[in-house]
Amino acid sequence: MSPIDLDVPADLLLPESGSGPGIVLFQEIFGVTDYIRSRAQDLADLGYVVLVPHLYARLGDPVVEEGGEGLPRAMALLEELDWQQAVEDGVAAVAALRDHPAVEGGVGVLGFCLGGGMAFNVAAVARPAPDALVSYYGSALPNLLGLAPDVTSPSLHHFGDSDTYLPLATVRDIERAVTEGHDDVTFVVHPGGDHAFDNPSPMFHHAEASAAAWEQTATWLASHLPVEASATTR
């Protein structure tokens, strides 16, 4: 299988069929953790070719504890991250995945927390634009709403109504910005979900919100970035 030519390391996961549409998956603030790797595998199990660029590679590629004592270190890493460089790395990842011989069909972007904002920013500037955008509680979105008119990809956004990092009033501001003037935006606010509700760490996890959001994500991707039936059975 052809390697991915990027300036940062990236994990490539293939579906059982060996080919399919592509998804670039962007990490949380904790790095490319076992959780992110597991979600990448979940997407591969749905039939996607998944690429996970390591956004912290230029910082030594650290992986820190999810929650607890790791949270201050993760917040510090976020401050150290060169956001624009990371966006450029993300755009390059989308382009590289489009060119990969295993990719048949479109290429989407999906991210959690830090990665949710990164996916949104990449969707705003990558050309051609990603064919689909899924953003889970994009923590940088309040500072990126000026880019909303440039995001032409169909998009799905997940937030919790009990997010202590992004209050519900802020979530509603995000909803107005990302839906105005766009025809294909799905915006879901999950009851009881705090920030990072999909992360299995006990500090964050909300089982009902996580399960509902993932089911919605899989269904939405099947509609907007479909895996051909023939590819899943080869």
- Catalytic positions are 113, 163, 195
CA nearest to 120, candidates 131, 109, 106: 109
Q: Which two tokens stand for residue 22?
A: 């592509």
Q: CA-to-CA distance for 90 and 55, rounded, in angstroms?
A: 8
Structural contact between residues 80 and 122, judged by C-beta atoms closer than 8 angstroms: no
What is the residue-wise DSSP string for 17-34? TS-EEEEEEE-BTTBS-H
Q: CA-to-CA distance for 63 and 30, rounded, in angstroms?
A: 6
